[in-house]
Amino acid sequence: MYQKIKKNKQKPIQYQNLNPFKETEKKYKFYAGLQTDFSELIDLNNLNEQQMEQQGIHKNGSVYRFDYPQGVILVKGFLNLDDQIRISKLCMNDYINQPYRTNLFIYKEDENFDKFIVHDDQKYHFNNKIRWANVGYQYDWNNRHYPQEKTQVPDPIQEISQRANNFLQLQNHYQSESVIINFYQSHDYMTGHLDDAELDQDSPIYSFSFGLSSVFVIGGPTKDEKPIAIKLDSGDLLVMSGHARRCYHGVPRILANSFHPIQNPFPQSQLDANLNTDFHVFNYLSEHRININTRQVYKPQVEQ
């Protein structure tokens, strides 16, 4: 799922024989020594009404709906800073432990994971080897399907999913059944893919951003369609509904030094050597991105 950035020793980026999606991905990736062209990146913080109209974006309060791909919705600042810290803290402390599953199960059980854990009272306590966690139905990454094994989806994640669905009124019966929590370091990226393993391909996917901003690209049902690139900030809610639910999407870039609320509201006096306190979580989000995406796996059972 994740890829690490490779240095290109300042060689020009080669775009020959790339499909439009791959070309866009490559355009936004971080390459040491090369400057990225962000001129086509859609940053809703900086667009005026005329620019939005030209790009087929319709604004209603904090909600932005896109003509292309149809079904893409972005809600700016959906989660306030308290929500961001509270939920990120749960992701870092609770949702990485049994019965939930993480990527670490693919490594040898006797591997010394302590060497990957950041133990720094001035920063945070976290195992940087953890790249994703899965709650709810446990997705089989190798065979790309959902077995029957599942855990309970924690109430805080159900709550923000239901809050998002109620706010946008996209679906009468929505239940968050499988949740992927991604932990990105500043030079990570996620290649373009489809979320096509769920039997329910009609219900929306709700995606919540925490920490560093990112470049999110989404195009069409094949990689032959050129995608758009959208800047996602901490607290944003990105929705893939309707046609967009079946479109290729990915995260080619995490934007370093992009999480900077006006001031750090969590004093260092809150330090706790055993858990990631609010102070630790704030520092972690200043150097990482957490993404929570929720979806239904099975079509909702509607009473007749």
Binding residues: 193, 195, 249
Residue ranges for the known binding site for Fe cation are 193, 195, 249
Read out DSSP for 178-194? EEEEEEEETTEEEEEE-
Contact 2, 131 (CB under 8 A): yes
Helices then strands, each counted (H, E), the chain: 5, 16
Q: Is 284 helix (H, G, I), strand (E, B) or coil?
A: helix
Q: Which helix (H) or strand (E) holds 155?
A: helix 155-168
Q: Is 166 helix (H, G, I), strand (E, B) or coil?
A: helix
Other CB atoms within 10 Å distance of the CB of residue 257: 10
Which residue reads 């809600």 in tokens? 75
Which residue reads 């109620």 in tokens? 166
Task: Count CA atoms within 13 Å of residue 161 on its CB side.
Answer: 26
Interior/surface letters 146-161, b for 16+ CB within 10 angstroms, e for the rest = beeebbebbebbbebb
